[in-house]
Amino acid sequence: MFKGIRKILVGGEKEKEILDLIREHIEKLSEAAETLKIAIENNDPSLNYEICELERIGDVIRREIALRLYEGAFLPAVRAEFYRFSELVDESIDLIEDTSVYFSMMAGINPEIRDLCVRIAELNCKMVDYLYHAFDSLEKELDLTDKTIKLRAKEQEIDGLKREIHSKMVKIDIKSFWEGYILSNFLDNLVNISDKIEDAADVIQILNVSLR
């Protein structure tokens, strides 16, 4: 059913426009993840403004992808998967923005867990890199295995860091309900970014099978 479909990926004008938009979308995700990492490293909540702007641009790109898809690019069988992928990229940027907002509400990250949070932010950036290369390999009909294995390994590493943070949090002195609430939401969102990126990688795997 899908024999020869990959030629459409590189040959059709509508399809090429969408692929370029998706790459741009992933690049905005990469910029947002990198900016969040820098903000946490330097304890600079002012970078929240840049992340919010990247989220706004990401929304515009997602809507443009949806419009181009519903104009008839790609076959219906894979069109929904491309849209799902763009949604997951956008949701990843949304999570980065939420993380940044909670970070901007904090007086700072407790030294007990600060380095662990920086490490998670770094791993999120690395996962976005792997996601970009996996998407690029999808178009070029290259093997995705190496990229997806590395991506999942980073996600598992983040899960381990999350457990380490939880073990340390019980020893942290929380002065008020709202301080604890903001810290908890910051950490949950920081960790959940990797889950969304992994979900997006799963869609690439589905597309890889569908386009054979």
Residue range 22-58, pLDDT digits in tens? 999 999 999 999 999 999 999 999 999 999 999 999 9
H/E element, 109: none
More confident position, 105 or 141: 105
Which pLDDT score, from 0 to 100, does residue 6 have? 53
Q: Please, which contacts does 169-172 make with residues 24 or more away whose CB atoms are closer than 8 Å?
A: 169/113, 171/112, 172/110, 172/112, 172/113
C-alpha closest to that of 100 among 47, 59, 165: 47
Which pLDDT score, from 0 to 100, does residue 161 have? 97
pLDDT at 212 over 90: no
Which pLDDT score, from 0 to 100, does residue 1 have? 32
Tell me the average pLDDT of the chain: 89
Alpha helices in 5-144 (DSSP H): 5-11, 13-42, 48-70, 76-104, 111-140
Domain ranges of the chain: 5-210
pLDDT at 4 over 70: no
Which pLDDT score, from 0 to 100, does residue 169 have? 87
Question: What's the pTM?
Answer: 0.91
Which pLDDT score, from 0 to 100, does residue 16 have? 86
C-alpha closest to that of 147 among 139, 137, 157: 137
| Mean pLDDT on 119-126 | 98
Give the confidence band of 78 by pLDDT, cuts at 50, 70, 90: confident
Give per-residue pLDDT as tens, 184-202.
999 999 999 999 999 999 9
| 5-210 carries CATH number 3.40.50.300 | no
Give per-residue pLDDT as tens, 134-169.
998 887 766 777 888 899 999 999 999 999 999 998
CA-CA-CA-CA torsion sign (24, 26, 30, 33):
positive
Return the axis-axis angle of helices 145-169 and 111-140, rounded to nearest 10°. 160
